[in-house]
Amino acid sequence: MSFYKQILPFIEYVHSIRKLKNYLSFDMVFPTKWSLPKSLVEEGQIVGFETEMAETKGISFVAEISDASVNEILTKIAKVIKLNKEKELKEKLFRQTVEQLKQTFEKTDLERLQNLYFDFDINEETNLDIHEPSETEPEDDKLAGEREEKGPKRTRTSKKAPSTTIEED
């Protein structure tokens, strides 16, 4: 894969790329609210720097000049960007959902609200680093959302039409 194709997905965040003796420094500019998961970066691989805009922060990702090290640091940069963009989208979705819930609570009587139930598919795998228990670790018997016995009649709010509800058995 060409170098261009490797950096294209995050080109909007690239401030500069520098050679420092036997190292390459990928100087990136991110929004100040973005975070760097400790699991993705090792001591000495990142260095902060000042940016001209108050709402951004600069982070230099440093790697030895070798195919493996450069590929590893580019993968880590891509993961940082992906995780933070996903976090932003989740926060936006959360705010929208809270607003829909406010409207639902304002327009719906208490008796129906007491039967409010949230349902979504949990069968799809995610690309996040989620700790999976090993064979030696205890595992909870049931996952969130699984139920053994049939519950009361549920009302699920529809995302497409927040003021309507769908009755389920």
How do residues 125-167 score in pLDDT, each as one tens digit? 544 443 344 444 444 433 333 334 444 444 444 444 444 444 4
Higher-confidence residue of 113 and 64: namely 64
pTM of the model: 0.64
Please, what are the domains in the chain?
3-97 (3.30.1460), 108-120+150-169 (no CATH)
Residue 53 burial (CB count, 10 A): 10
Q: What pLDDT score does 123 carry?
A: 67
How far is residue 153's CA from residue 111's CA, in Å, rounded to a whole number?
12
How do residues 13-55 score in pLDDT, each as one tens digit? 999 999 999 999 999 999 999 999 888 887 778 999 999 999 9
